Amino acid sequence: MSQKQLKNLFENQSQYSDDEQDKLKDSLTCLYFTYAQKKYCAGISEVREIIEFPLFVPYPVDVGCALGVFNLRGNVVSIMDPRRHYVQLMKTKGMKAQEYFSREKLRLILFELEGEVVALPVYDVGKAVVDLALFEKESDFVPIDTVPYEKFNTQSLNKGGHL
Amino acid sequence: MVDDELLDDFYEESIDLIEKVKSALEMWDDTPDKVDAIDSIYRWVHTIKGGCAIFEYDATASIAHELETFLGKLKSKSDNISAKELQMLQDGIDAIESSFHDGGKSFDQNSFELIEAEQTEGDDLSVGDEELVTAHFWEWFEENKGLVEDLRQAGYSFFELKISTAFSQKIMDKLGEKKIMALHSQESDGDLAALFALDQSMAQGPMLELANILMEKYEGRWCFAKKMLEKSPIEQEVKNEVKKSVQQGQEVLRVPLPTVNSILDHVLELFLVRNQLAHLFQEHKSIFKDHHSFIQQFESLDNVIERNIHELESKTMSMRLSPIKKIFDRMDRVVSEYCKQSNKQIEFHTNGQGIDLDKKVLDQLNEPLIHLIRNAIDHGIESSEDRVSSGKSAQGRVELSAQVLGNEVAIVIKDDGKGIDPKKIYESAKSKGLAVDHLQNDKEIIELIFAPGFSTAQEVTDVSGRGVGMDAVRHSIAELGGSIGIESVPGQGSEFRIKLPLTMSVSKCLIVEVEGLNYAFSTKSIVFVEKVRPHSLKRNGAAMYYDFNGKLIPCFDISKIVPSYRAEPGLPKTHIYVCVTSLGGNETAFCVDNVVQTLSIVLKPLPKSSGKHPLIAGVSILPAGNPIFVLNAQECIKSLMDDQDEGEGHVAKAA
């Protein structure tokens, strides 16, 4: 659900029953996804956009966790790979990795980090409404339909960040 | 009833002008062009007087009037204003300020007392109005090109005066015998405008001074035409006067830096969009193949747009530029103040002061440079006694230089002091618990000085030695996208070399293909490109050489540092392209698989999230919309050179 839709939902609460409205207030829409074969979730407010995996230009040298860059409406955006999963893939497959990305229906989740847009390659993207209390618990995992999803640490998208 | 808004504007403007006068008087001793300075102060006081009169700040207006009269008399002796006269001016502006803040209705009669300025010859002559007369002489120049050219060849320069009729003959009589020719005169509203040619041998000393005084008195200026302003011994004098006359009456507007940056961003986006439009047109040109007129008009308009965007970009960039000289002068003061306090004799040299840098870069460079200079004079240069006993001259030497190299500026701080002892660094680092076992040579050991908290100084002085400086220096420079390196020889001296990127701008680049992907290299340092067969390069072990005009220069293969994305990686290359770069007179070459085109692109910094890499100068978006990495040719060559040396076992072990 996009930010706009969520906002719309809360603004039109009168459409919902009192019980449903109370539930909405204590719930959080979060995005769940799989990155580098691990399941993560992130609060919807952290997500700026989800796009199809674009054609990108890989970095010519090893810059750690950055895979490459692409043109997002005139801005150069970096695709980050904190676990270096796709960086390794590029090293072994070369440009054939781009075919792999489209075949696996990879998407890019765009986060905003300290004023800059950063992209993360993901697949199996979905949204879920979870109990806010559960999300804010200190535990790193949030159960979504009994499956534990690790809370995604957006700071790992900074150079030198780890997951 | 005076409009409140108008009153606010008057108040703010007057405060601003008072501050300007005070500032100009404080800086008087350091002002190189005192004639211009006194003119400016006169104009500001005149404006204050006018505003005060309008808004009934009568007392303030009265003081301003007195000060203005006093300034008028000082104008003829700008370079010889006495300390007492300067003090009077300062008291005068203080009195204006005090009266102004009191509402302009009164002033302290004892706050200042104007003295009579010393009279100089010609004070009884009146000054004409300020209308320019050059237009008259342009026509004369055009009609008498031959004579003007002959005079110029003979070493004459031209100046004009607008003088009252009554004194025209007096001036000509006075000057005629001194190798000055009166070329032409023209009457304008009762006044005579006169054009003179001054023999360059006379254009110095008392004669030049007289000419300048006359021009000052009679609203004169040096005349010039583009083809006439060629090299001559007094070219600098002419240029100064031209600059002065152009700047007269020029208004200055303060614009916040974020506004300038925003304008530049928009200009650069405009540039990108224009490129994409041009690309789109080229791709679909066949649709218009029967519309030649349309194609011609489109391409003509496109050229105009491109030219204007470049001009806009250039002007906007220039708004952000400040001369590096300001910093260099500051460093000069740092050294001279230190010399006064210590018993060291230090000679300070600068080079490359004419370079302009982005203001933000200059502001951030100030502290690191001060630190490096202080290190050089405190730790580097020895005392005179120590220098003499080690066979050096008593006076130490510190050099600060700046040079534009491609898309970077290199700033070097060099001293001939005692240098850095790698052994001492090694021991100190070890005692502090820093990791030292991995260090392989003296260069790597010396680089430890940039480690946080590292200092080998036996004592902390007021000047240096706290150990926080070099780490902060490196960090400041890295924040600017630059790097710092050091070379040092114990007993001989040290050299710190800072490299900084020039600001983001449109730059012409060579688009090349290497191992299946396109990259860009700035053309600033590329002097020659040639398509050759791979086997035409000379080899000596791992090293390759290219024959450049009969001289064998090292040649490096860029494909060794970028990954391969070739469709057929095993396919041998039938042709390659050699690009020769030249830096400081040294030629080196690198080879690529293909040269696609040259293109003007907007160089953007790498996204912050991915960090920086010395081999990558930045990134851009091509007209087709795909991004391209801009590589730093010199760093690529350096990296390949280092790899080659390592491969050949050229590694110095630590002592």
Classify residue B378 by its DSSP letter: I
pLDDT at res. A160: 58
What are the φ and ψ backbone dihedral angles of B112, each rounded to 5 degrees? -160, 160
- Residue-level pLDDT at A107: 92
pLDDT reading at B393 higher than 80: yes
Chain A, chain B: beta-carbon pairs less than 8 Å apart: 87
Q: Place B187 in a pLDDT band, splitting at 50, 70 and 90.
A: low
Q: Residue B608 and residue A59: Cβ atoms within 8 Å?
A: no
Structure tokens at A117: 């847009």
User: B44-53, B111-120, B154-163, B575-584 — which is least confidently predicted?
Assistant: B111-120
Residue A38 contacts residue A48 (beta carbons within 8 Å) = no
pLDDT the model gives residue B652: 33
- Greater confidence (B374 vs B359) lies with B374
pLDDT of residue B418: 92
Q: Which of B333, B235, B229, B313 is nearest to B271 (CA)?
A: B313
Bridge partners for B578 per DSSP: B530, B591
Beta-carbon separation of A116 and B607 below 8 A: yes
**pLDDT > 50? residue B301:** yes
Asked if B615 lies within 8 A of A61 by C-beta distance, the reply is: yes
Q: Compare B209 and B554 and report the one with higher pLDDT.
A: B554
- Mean pLDDT is highest, among B152-166, B430-444, B586-600, B605-619, for B586-600
Whether A82 contacts A65, CB under 8 Å: yes
Enumerate residues 6+ apart whose C-beta is below 8 A from B566: B515, B516
Angle between helices B235-247 and B34-54 (to 10 degrees): 10
Among partner residues B516, B611, B619, which is closest to A64 by beta-carbon distance? B611
The listed range with the strongest mean pLDDT (A16-30, B157-171, B216-230) is A16-30
Tell me whether A113 touches chain B (CB under 8 Å): yes
* Residue in B565, B604, B625 nearest the CB of A94: B565
Instruction: Give me the pLDDT at residue B296, please.
Output: 84
Q: What pLDDT is stored for residue B416 in this prediction?
A: 94
Question: CB neighbours (10 Å) of residue B304?
Answer: 10
Q: Which residues pair with B345 in a beta bridge?
A: B395
Nearest CA in chain B to A95: B565
Output phi, psi for B546, to 5 deg. -120, 135
Q: Is A112 on the interface with B (CB under 8 A)?
A: no
What does the pLDDT average to over B450-458?
61
User: What is the model's pLDDT at position B468?
Assistant: 47
Kindly identify which residue of chain A lies nearest to residue B562, measuring between CA atoms. A60
Q: What is the pLDDT of residue B512?
A: 95
A159/B609 CB distance under 8 A: yes
Strands (E), B180-294: 180-188, 191-199, 221-223
Asked if B626's CB is within 8 angstroms of A94's CB, the reply is no
Nearest to B215 by CA among B180, B188, B187, B250: B180
Residue A90 near chain B (CB below 8 Å): yes
Write the single-letter amino acid at B15.
Answer: I
Q: Which whole number is the average pLDDT over B423-441?
A: 80
Sign of the four-CA dihedral A40, A46, A49, A55: negative
Q: Which residues of B touch A56 (CB under 8 A)?
A: 627
- How far apart (Å, rounded) are the C-alpha atoms in residues B500 and B614? 11
With 0-12 / 13-18 / 19 or more C-beta atoms within 10 angstroms meaning exposed / middle / buried, residue B230 is exposed
CA distance A56 to chain B (A): 8
- Cα B332 from Cα B400, distance rounded (Å): 9
Closest to B108 measured CA to CA, from B84, B92, B88, B90: B92
What pTM was computed for the model? 0.50
Cα–Cα distance between A51 and B64 in angstroms, integer? 68
Q: Is the pLDDT of residue B160 over 80?
A: no
Residue B654, token pair as written in the block: 């630590």
Amino acid B224: pLDDT = 41
| 8 A C-beta contact, residue B406 and residue B504 | no
8 A C-beta contact, residue B504 and residue B261: no
Which phi and psi (to 5°) does residue B396 adopt?
-80, 165
Contact of B270 with chain A, judged by CB distance below 8 Å, is answered with: no
User: From the candidates B274, B558, B560, B610, which should be mutated to test the interface with A, based on the most A CB atoms within 10 A?
Assistant: B610
Residues 6+ apart with CB under 8 A from B642: none
Q: What is the 3-state secondary structure (H, E, C) of B390-405?
A: CCCCCEEEEEEEEEEE
Average pLDDT value for residue range B537-541: 90
Identify which has the larger pLDDT, B436 or B456. B436
Mean pLDDT of A124-146: 80
Tell me the helix, strand and coil percentages in chain B, rounded to 5. Answer: 45, 25, 30
DSSP β-ladder status, B191-199 and B180-188: antiparallel
Which residue in the set A55, A60, A94 is minimally distant from B626, CB to CB? A55
The share of chain B scoring above pLDDT 70, in percent, equals 69
Q: Across the interface, do B608 and A91 touch by the CB < 8 Å criterion?
A: no
The β-bridge relationship of strands B551-557 and B586-592 is parallel
Distance of CA B139 to the CA centre of its chain: 36
| Contact call for residues B448 and B454 (beta carbons, < 8 A) | yes
**Residues B625-643: what's their mean pLDDT?**
87
Residue in this structure with the two tokens 């008399």, named with its chain if needed: B73
Banded pLDDT at B35 (limits 50, 70, 90): confident
- Measured in angstroms, the CA of A109 and the nearest CA of chain B are apart by 15
Among A49-63, A137-151, B199-213, B488-502, the least confident range = B199-213
Distance, CA of B535 to CA of B286 (rounded, Å)? 41
CA distances from B584 to A67, B387, B517, B530, B636 (A): 36, 32, 30, 21, 17
The pLDDT, as a whole number, for residue B321 is: 74
Residue type, B42: Y
- The residue to which tokens 């000393």 are assigned: B205
Which chain B residues touch A118 with a CB distance below 8 Å? 607, 609
- Residue B282 has a pLDDT of 83
Distance CA B562, CA A61 (A): 6
For B494, residues 6+ apart whose C-beta sits below 8 A from its C-beta are B376, B380, B414, B415, B417, B419, B420, B486, B487, B488
The pLDDT assigned to B649 comes to 45
Q: Nearest CB to A70: which of B269, B569, B627?
A: B627
Task: Identify the band that residue B650 occupies on the pLDDT scale cut at 50, 70 and 90.
Answer: very low
Average pLDDT over residues B443-450: 82
Q: How far from chain centre, in Å, is Cα A163?
A: 14
ipTM value > 0.85: no
User: Shortest CB distance from A80 goes to which of B516, B609, B629?
Assistant: B609
Query: If you average pLDDT over residues B225-238, what whole number do you get?
Result: 34
Using the predicted structure, report yes or no on whether residue B596 has a pLDDT greater than 50. Answer: yes
Q: Which residue of A has its CA nearest to B603?
A: A76
Which of A55, A61, A78 lies nearest to residue B609, judging by beta carbons?
A: A78
| pLDDT cut 90: percent of chain B above it | 15
Q: What is the pLDDT of residue B503?
A: 55
The pairing of strands B538-540 and B543-548 is antiparallel
Q: Which residues contact B242 (CB under 8 A, 6 or more apart)?
A: B221, B222, B224, B229
Give the one of B272, B604, B613 whose C-beta lies nearest to A63's C-beta.
B613
CB-CB neighbors (< 8 A) of A80 in chain B:
609-610
Q: What is the per-residue burial (b if ≥16 Cβ within 10 Å, else e) of B397-428?
A: bbbbbbeeebbbbbbbbbbbbbbbbbeebbeb
